[in-house]
C-alpha cells in the first residue's frame, strides 16, 4: 500500500512517521501545519477547476462540511467578541487567533481535505503501522520504568515555536499516577488519557484493514494502548462505540428492529433495576480514580457557574488558571462543553454541537450502505464521547486522521471493503 498523489503522500508519511516526529518533538507542529498545506492544495485545485474538468476529477464540497466550516468560523467570531468584551488587547487576540488556527479551525480544515482524492484504505494501513510501531517500542518505555530512569527524557527545543505547554514537545518515558502510585504511559501523546483517545481511533480504523495480519496486529496494539494509558474512558468508549456502530448501521434489517422492540419492552419492565445498575456503575467509575473525578467535577462546576454569571453568550475569550482546589488546572479543561461555555459561551457551544449533530445524522444514513461512512460514524461517536473527558481543540493535531475519514465519508460515495490486490497479504515489516 503506497500513496499515489500529493494529498496521500502528506497523510501517509505524517501518520507512519508519528514516532519519528515525536522523538524530535515535532508532532504538534506537523499536525497543526499539514491541514493548512492540504487546504492550500485544495484551493489551487478548485481555482483550476473548469467546465472542462472531467467529472471524476471535479471537487464538490458536501453541505455538512460547509456546516463544519461555518461552525469553526463562528468559533473565531466568539473568540473576538470575548476578547473585545473583556478588553484583553490586540496582542492577546492575535495569539488566541493563532491558537484557533491550530485548534478549532482544524475541525473544519481536515473534513474539507477529505474531499480530495484520498483512499480510505491508505488510512487503515497507516493506522496499523503506528500500532505495530507501538508494540515494537513498548519494551523501551517499560524498561525505562523498571530501571527508574527519569520520567521525562528531554523537552525538544522545537517548543520555541509555541504551543499549549512543554508536554506537547517532551519525550515522556512513563509517569506515576499520584492517586495510586502505579505507572501509566502516554507515548506520543501529551497525557495518558489522550493515548486512550488515539487508541480508540486506531482500533476502528484497523477493523477495516483487509490484510488479516496487519488487522490483528493493529487491534492488539490499539487495545494495548488503551490498557497502558489506564484511561477509564478509553476502555468504555471502545465497547460503547463498537456496540452503537453495530446497532446503528443495521437499522434497516427487520431482525434488528424486532430485537430493539423486544429490548425496549423488557427494559420498560426493569427500569428501576437498570437505573440502580447505572448508578452503581457510575459510582465504581468515579471510585476508580477518585482524585481525578473530584478535580473534573469541581472544574466543571466552576466553569458553569462563572459562565452563566459573567459571560453566558460570548464567553471569557481565554482560559484562566484554576485555584489550588483543582490543582491549578485551567478552568473548563477536561471537558469540551464546559470549556466552550467558559471561553466562547453559548455561541461557541452551539458552533460545535450543530456540526456534530449534522455529521451524525448524515453519516447514520450513509453508513447503511457505505463501509467508509460506518467508520466515519464511529469517529464522530468517539469524538462526542471524548467531549466529556477532553478538550477537543487542544488534541486536534493528534486525531486529525479521524477528521479526514469523516470528510471522506461525507462525500457520500459508497465505499465497501476493497481488496489491495497482491499487496493485501504482505506481511508486516
pLDDT, tens digit (0-9, with 9 covering 90-100), for 155-174: 999 988 877 888 999 999 99
pLDDT, tens digit (0-9, with 9 covering 90-100), for 322-354: 776 666 677 777 788 888 998 999 999 999 999
Per-residue pLDDT, averaged over 59-73, amounts to 95
Question: What is the structure's pLDDT at 57?
Answer: 81
In this predicted structure, which of 51-55, 60-64, 156-160, 363-367 has the lowest mean pLDDT? 51-55
Residue 423's nearest CA partner among 119, 211, 118 is: 211
CA 353, CA 362: separation in Å to the nearest integer? 14
In this predicted structure, which of 6-20, 231-245, 249-263, 409-423 has the lowest mean pLDDT? 409-423
Question: What is the structure's pLDDT at 414?
Answer: 42
Question: What is the structure's pLDDT at 287?
Answer: 56
Question: What is the structure's pLDDT at 315?
Answer: 85
Residue of higher predicted confidence among 253 and 128: 128
Averaged pLDDT score across all residues of the chain: 86
Grid cell locating 204? 476502528
HSE-CB of 184 using CA atoms within 13 angstroms: 22
pTM attached to this predicted model: 0.88
Question: What is the structure's pLDDT at 417?
Answer: 39
Residue 316's nearest CA partner among 307, 304, 327, 325 is: 307
For residue 321, the cross-strand partners are 330
In this predicted structure, which of 50-59, 166-175, 237-246, 369-378 has the lowest mean pLDDT? 50-59
Q: Dihedral through CA 219, CA 13, CA 108, CA 245, nearest 10?
A: -20
% residues pLDDT > 70 (the chain): 85
pLDDT, tens digit (0-9, with 9 covering 90-100), for 266-301: 655 565 665 565 556 555 555 555 666 677 778 878
Nearby residues of 344 by Cβ (< 8 Å), 6 or more positions away: 75, 78, 79, 82, 314, 315, 317, 351
| 420 has a pLDDT exceeding 70 | no
| 151 has a pLDDT exceeding 80 | yes
Q: Grade residue 220 by pLDDT with cuts at 50, 70 and 90.
A: very high
CA 4, CA 2: separation in Å to the nearest integer? 6
Contact at 8 Å (CB) between 209 and 128?
yes
For residue 175, the cross-strand partners are 184
Classified as helix, coil or strand, 367 is: coil
Domain boundaries, the chain: 6-249+292-417, 257-288
| 255 has a pLDDT exceeding 90 | no
| 257 has a pLDDT exceeding 70 | no
Question: What is the structure's pLDDT at 282?
Answer: 56
pLDDT, tens digit (0-9, with 9 covering 90-100), for 10-45: 999 999 999 999 999 999 999 999 999 999 999 999
Grid cell locating 30? 506537523
| 265 has a pLDDT exceeding 60 | no
| 261 has a pLDDT exceeding 60 | yes
Question: What is the structure's pLDDT at 221?
Answer: 96
| 87 has a pLDDT exceeding 60 | yes
- Where are the strands (E) in 206-310, listed by range? none
Between CA 377 and CA 153, with CA 103 as vertex, the angle to 5 degrees is 105
Amino acid at each position: 500500500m503506497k500513496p499515489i498523489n500529493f494529498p496521500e503522500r502528506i497523510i501517509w508519511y505524517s501518520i507512519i512517521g508519528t514516532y519519528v516526529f515525536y522523538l524530535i518533538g515535532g508532532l504538534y507542529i506537523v499536525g497543526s501545519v499539514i491541514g493548512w498545506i492540504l487546504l492550500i492544495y485544495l484551493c489551487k485545485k478548485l481555482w483550476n477547476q473548469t467546465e472542462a474538468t472531467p467529472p471524476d476529477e471535479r471537487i464538490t464540497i458536501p453541505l455538512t462540511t460547509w456546516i463544519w466550516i461555518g461552525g469553526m468560523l463562528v468559533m473565531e467570531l466568539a473568540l473576538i467578541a470575548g476578547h473585545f468584551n473583556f478588553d484583553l488587547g490586540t496582542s492577546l487576540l492575535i495569539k488566541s487567533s493563532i491558537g484557533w488556527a491550530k485548534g478549532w479551525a482544524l475541525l473544519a480544515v481536515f473534513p474539507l481535505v477529505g474531499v480530495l482524492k484520498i483512499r480510505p484504505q491508505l488510512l487503515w494501513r497507516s493506522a496499523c503501522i503506528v500500532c505495530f510501531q507501538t508494540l515494537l517500542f513498548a519494551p523501551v518505555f517499560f524498561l525505562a520504568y523498571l530501571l527508574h530512569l527519569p520520567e521525562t527524557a528531554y523537552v525538544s527545543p522545537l517548543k520555541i515555536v509555541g504551543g499549549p505547554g512543554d508536554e506537547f514537545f517532551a519525550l515522556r518515558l512513563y509517569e506515576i499516577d499520584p492517586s495510586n502510585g502505579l505507572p501509566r504511559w502516554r507515548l506520543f501523546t501529551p497525557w495518558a488519557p489522550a493515548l486512550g483517545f488515539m487508541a480508540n481511533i486506531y482500533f476502528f480504523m484497523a477493523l477495516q484493514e483487509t490484510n488479516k495480519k496487519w488487522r490483528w496486529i493493529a487491534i492488539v496494539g490499539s487495545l494495548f494502548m488503551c490498557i497502558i494509558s489506564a484511561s477509564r474512558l478509553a476502555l468504555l468508549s471502545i465497547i460503547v462505540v463498537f456496540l452503537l456502530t453495530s446497532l446503528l448501521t443495521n437499522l434497516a434489517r427487520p431482525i434488528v428492529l424486532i430485537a430493539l422492540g423486544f429490548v425496549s419492552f423488557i427494559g420498560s419492565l426493569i427500569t428501576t433495576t437498570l437505573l440502580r445498575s447505572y448508578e452503581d456503575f457510575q459510582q465504581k467509575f468515579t471510585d476508580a480514580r477518585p482524585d481525578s473525578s473530584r478535580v473534573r467535577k469541581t472544574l466543571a462546576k466552576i466553569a458553569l457557574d462563572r459562565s452563566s454569571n459573567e459571560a453566558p453568550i460570548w464567553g471569557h475569550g481565554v482560559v484562566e488558571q484554576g485555584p489550588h482546589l483543582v490543582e491549578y488546572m485551567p478552568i473548563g479543561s477536561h471537558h469540551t462543553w464546559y470549556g466552550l461555555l467558559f471561553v466562547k459561551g453559548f455561541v461557541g457551544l452551539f458552533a460545535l454541537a450543530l456540526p456534530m449533530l449534522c455529521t451524525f445524522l448524515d453519516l447514520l444514513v450513509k453508513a447503511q450502505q457505505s463501509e467508509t461512512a460506518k467508520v466515519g460514524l464511529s469517529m464522530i461517536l468517539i469524538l462526542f464521547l471524548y467531549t466529556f473527558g477532553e478538550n477537543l481543540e487542544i488534541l486536534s493535531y493528534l486525531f486529525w486522521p479521524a477528521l479526514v475519514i469523516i470528510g471522506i465519508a461525507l462525500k457520500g460515495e459508497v465505499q465497501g471493503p476493497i481488496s489491495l490486490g497482491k499487496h493485501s497479504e504482505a506481511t508486516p515489516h
